[in-house]
């Protein structure tokens, strides 16, 4: 449901809207846990995703708006701590629930958390800002939803359908047509759901591209390692979740440091350096085999997490800082959607490479009970392990290559100023007050823009 997140602050501008998102997400989670069939589970997941979109689309905008530009990186780094701690606890808690209860409790556990978040939003989040009504863009919203839904669907099921299947080709063609029409529509409507003028900023475009490539490369870690842990190494689900925690814990430690550094020295070299370290980490993770120790696994995850954290806070700061105050919600929507698109593409690409080299088939065979022929079973086991390792290694090499492309994208943004953390002159848009968004670029000064200055 990442496509909903581009709505940004069109609708979700106050604490009441965040509370509404929590209500939808919590109810959706409860319905997912109680779903009696797969089609209903998918439908309830859509509702859950809509609630999540109402939350995640505005969170970076609220954080950015609450701090001056010279503290933006530090604030986003602090926000990354919360996200990373949740990410570290999630796999472990999910493993415990799955192992000792049922999969339904993965959804039920969100209900009390949602209630706590709802109450905290009502009593703690006091965003008192004037709202200016903006005419909704229904055609743009429809094309955006169809385009990203088709793209995500195609990337998610491409391996299952077959990469040359008519169904996949038709789905991706629909995505291309819908998104192409979206661009044409948004250039003509009075209040576009996406302000295309933001794309005139080199910093904004570069930050978005490097963000997508980052998630495209690094989300494969969370996708592939569970197969490695459970199929090749035969760890339990709970142990697999625990073994993943060094990555998000490292992000929680490093992200606020990198955010504070971005406020002092700018974002360009920190983002590029972080992706370089992450690229090295991916190569190291690809070198794991059937006999690697827990320490070997942990320190490789620490290297990868340090690189991701060094990239994340500065890049998010550059992306949010490249948008004027009135378009912060839309910028946050771009950030959330780029994350979802990158994650979906990462699963599709890593899964396709892993399967093409026989890793998926070998992994399935490795979890089957061994035969009674011990000599033959031993030889077959070694062969299956080599096949699995071949697919696993190839997938991580491809991901490392994608991360290398992200390094180039981060470097193309040009030098940025230490005061704002973004390159106002290099972004090519102009105003000294915001670093972007002059009247000529059509960002932030028009009443028909995405979101008014007051919001």
Query: Residue 346: how many CB atoms within 10 A of its CB?
Result: 26
Give the integer Cα–Cα distance in Å for 391 and 227.
11
Output the pLDDT for position 338.
Answer: 85
Alpha helices for 322-419 (secondary structure H): 328-356, 359-366, 374-411
Residues with Cβ < 8 Å from 209, sequence gap 6 or more?
A: 406, 409
Give the integer Cα–Cα distance in Å for 265 and 272.
13
**What's the CATH superfamily of 2-137+189-441?**
MFS general substrate transporter like domains (1.20.1250.20)
Q: Is 203 exposed, middle or buried (0-12, 13-18, 19+ CB in 10 A)?
A: buried
> SS3 for 85?
helix
Which residue positions in the chain have pLDDT lower than 50?
1-12, 14, 417-455
C-alpha pair distances (Å), 172 with each of 211, 254, 351, 409: 22, 38, 18, 25
Q: What is the pTM of this model?
A: 0.76
Output the pLDDT for position 281.
Answer: 95
């Amino acid at each position: 449901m990442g496509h909903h997140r581009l709505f940004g602050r069109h609708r979700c501008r106050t604490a009441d809207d965040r509370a509404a998102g929590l209500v939808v997400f919590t109810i959706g989670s409860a319905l997912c846990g109680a779903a009696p069939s797969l089609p209903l589970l998918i439908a309830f997941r859509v509702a859950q995703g809509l609630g999540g979109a109402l939350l995640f689309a505005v969170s970076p905008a609220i954080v950015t708006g609450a701090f001056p530009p010279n503290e933006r990186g530090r604030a986003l780094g602090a926000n990354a701590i919360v996200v990373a701690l949740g990410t570290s606890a999630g796999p472990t808690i999910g493993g415990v629930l799955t192992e000792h209860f049922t999969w339904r409790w993965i959804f039920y556990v969100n209900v009390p958390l949602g209630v706590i978040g709802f109450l905290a939003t009502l009593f703690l989040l006091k965003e008192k800002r004037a709202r200016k009504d903006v005419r909704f863009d229904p055609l743009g919203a429809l094309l955006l939803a169809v385009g990203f839904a088709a793209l995500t669907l195609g990337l998610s099921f491409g391996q299952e359908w077959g990469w040359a299947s008519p169904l996949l080709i038709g789905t991706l063609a629909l995505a291309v047509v819908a998104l192409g029409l979206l661009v044409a529509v948004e250039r003509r409507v009075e209040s576009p759901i996406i302000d295309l003028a933001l794309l005139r900023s080199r910093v904004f475009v570069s930050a978005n591209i490097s963000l997508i490539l980052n998630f495209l490369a690094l989300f494969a870690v969370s996708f592939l390692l569970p197969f490695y842990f459970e199929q090749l190494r035969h760890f339990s689900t709970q142990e697999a979740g625990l073994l993943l925690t060094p990555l998000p814990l490292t992000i929680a430690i490093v992200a606020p440091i990198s955010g504070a550094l971005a406020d002092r020295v700018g974002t360009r070299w920190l983002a590029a350096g972080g992706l370089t370290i992450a690229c090295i980490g991916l190569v190291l993770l690809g070198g794991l085999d059937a006999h690697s120790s827990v320490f070997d696994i942990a320190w490789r995850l620490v290297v990868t997490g340090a690189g991701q954290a060094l990239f994340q806070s500065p890049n998010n700061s550059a992306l949010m800082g490249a948008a004027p105050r009135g378009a912060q919600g839309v910028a946050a929507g771009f950030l959330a959607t780029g994350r979802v698109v990158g994650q979906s593409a990462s699963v599709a690409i890593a899964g396709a490479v892993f399967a093409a080299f026989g890793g998926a088939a070998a992994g399935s065979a490795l979890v089957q009970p061994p035969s009674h022929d011990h000599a033959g079973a031993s030889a077959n086991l070694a062969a299956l392990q080599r096949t699995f390792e071949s697919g696993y290694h190839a997938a991580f090499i491809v991901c490392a290559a994608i991360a290398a492309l992200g390094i180039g994208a981060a470097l193309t943004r040009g030098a940025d100023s230490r005061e704002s953390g973004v390159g106002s002159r290099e972004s090519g848009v102009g105003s000294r007050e915001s670093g972007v968004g002059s009247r000529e670029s059509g960002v932030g000064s028009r009443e028909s823009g995405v979101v008014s200055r007051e919001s």
